[in-house]
């Protein structure tokens, strides 16, 4: 037989045990909720690597009325490289470009130079006159080249014997990312072929239906001035040169082109 005191003691122990279980369950529940609601720490992505090169877009625009420009050759280089020097004889590689519009040898010569950081030739055909026409190449050079960085470029005036538009050793060392420098180009004479303007010696489209030889490169040099110099211009048959296959349309006033150099990286 259980006395009222014994029953009370048993009920008290059961009640305390129940309260302890209830408290433990609540603690576990709170711990579970706390874990699911807490933000999960994430590791930020590593910063992008710092650039080690600079990139330039070089764009050529033809300003003449009747002179197609051959695919340009553009060279990024240091002080020891020279595309040409006014008053000195043209290299054979430049002669090929100035007489035939062929920049293959000039590009190969540039790539063989230890002072050249990058070189490229336009992949499109001749750049004909006309609003909106342009030719472009991209050059990428190491950042370590910037203090000495210069650009040279050459492109034949197709309706001439050995005329070419050019820029020679222009510094772009301080050109900032996003900035552009525009240079107006004059015409030079390679001094490798006499400016007879005949259909036998002018390879451009102006002599296409002439029946002449339209010869490009010829290793024989017969110019009166046998060094690179500023081109005297086209005389033309309209200007009083009877044997000329060219007309007033092929004449020009400098500048003959605009070269734009934009640093994109």
Give pLDDT tens digits for 206-236: 999 999 999 999 999 999 999 999 999 999 9
pLDDT tens digits, one per residue of 40-65: 778 888 888 888 999 999 999 999 99
Handedness of CA 168, 55, 72, 65 (dihedral sign): negative
- Confidence tier at 38 by pLDDT (50, 70, 90): low
pLDDT tens digits, one per residue of 105-159: 999 999 999 999 999 999 989 999 998 899 999 999 999 999 999 999 999 999 9
The reported pLDDT for the residue numbered 6 is 43
SS3 call for 18: helix
Strand locations in the chain, DSSP E? 53-62, 73-77, 116-121, 135-142, 150-156, 163-171, 180-189, 229-230, 257-263
Do 260 and 182 meet the contact criterion of CB atoms below 8 Å apart?
yes
The reported pLDDT for the residue numbered 33 is 46
Tell me the pLDDT of the chain averaged across its residues.
Answer: 89
pLDDT tens digits, one per residue of 127-138: 999 988 999 999
Tokens 């009747």 belong to which residue?
66
Domain ranges of the chain: 1-38, 53-263
The reported pLDDT for the residue numbered 5 is 52
Cα–Cα–Cα angle for 129, 130, 132, rounded to 5 degrees: 125
- Residue 134 neighbours by CB distance under 10 Å: 15
The reported pLDDT for the residue numbered 27 is 43
Say whether pLDDT at 87 is over 90. yes
Burial string for 184-208 (b: 16+ CB within 10 Å, else e) reads ebebbbbbbbebbbbbbbbbbbbbe
pTM of the complete model: 0.82
**Which has more pLDDT, 35 or 19?**
35
The reported pLDDT for the residue numbered 49 is 85
Say whether pLDDT at 3 is over 60. no
CATH number for the segment(s) 53-263: 2.60.40.2130
For every residue of 72-83, DSSP letters joined together read: PEEEEE-TT--S
The reported pLDDT for the residue numbered 8 is 47
Q: C-alpha distances in angstroms, 29 versus 35, 49, 54, 182, 184?
A: 10, 46, 59, 72, 79
């Amino acid at each position: 037989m259980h006395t009222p005191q014994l029953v009370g003691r048993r009920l008290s122990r059961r009640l305390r045990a129940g309260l302890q279980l209830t408290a433990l369950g609540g603690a576990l529940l709170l711990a579970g909720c706390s874990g699911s609601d807490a933000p999960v720490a994430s590791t930020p992505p590593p910063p992008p690597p710092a650039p080690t090169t600079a990139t330039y877009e070089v764009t050529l625009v033809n300003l003449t009325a009747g002179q197609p420009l051959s695919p340009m050759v553009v060279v990024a280089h240091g002080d020891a490289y020279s595309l040409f020097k006014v008053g000195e004889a043209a290299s054979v590689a430049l002669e090929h470009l100035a007489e035939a519009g062929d920049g293959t040898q000039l590009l190969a010569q540039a790539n063989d130079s230890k002072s050249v950081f990058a070189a490229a030739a336009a992949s499109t055909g001749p750049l004909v006159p006309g609003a909106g026409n342009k030719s472009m190449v991209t050059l990428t050079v190491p950042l370590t080249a910037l203090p000495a960085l210069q650009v040279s470029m050459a492109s034949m005036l197709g309706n001439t014997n050995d005329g070419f538009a050019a820029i020679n050793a222009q510094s772009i060392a301080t050109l900032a990312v996003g900035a552009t420098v525009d240079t107006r180009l004059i015409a030079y004479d390679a001094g490798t072929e006499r400016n007879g303007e005949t259909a036998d010696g002018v390879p451009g489209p102006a002599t296409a239906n002439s029946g002449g030889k339209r010869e490009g490169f010829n290793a024989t040099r017969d110019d009166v001035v046998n060094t690179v110099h500023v081109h005297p211009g086209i005389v033309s048959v309209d200007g009083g040169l009877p044997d000329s296959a060219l007309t007033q349309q092929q004449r020009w006033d400098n500048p003959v082109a605009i070269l734009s150099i934009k640093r994109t990286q």
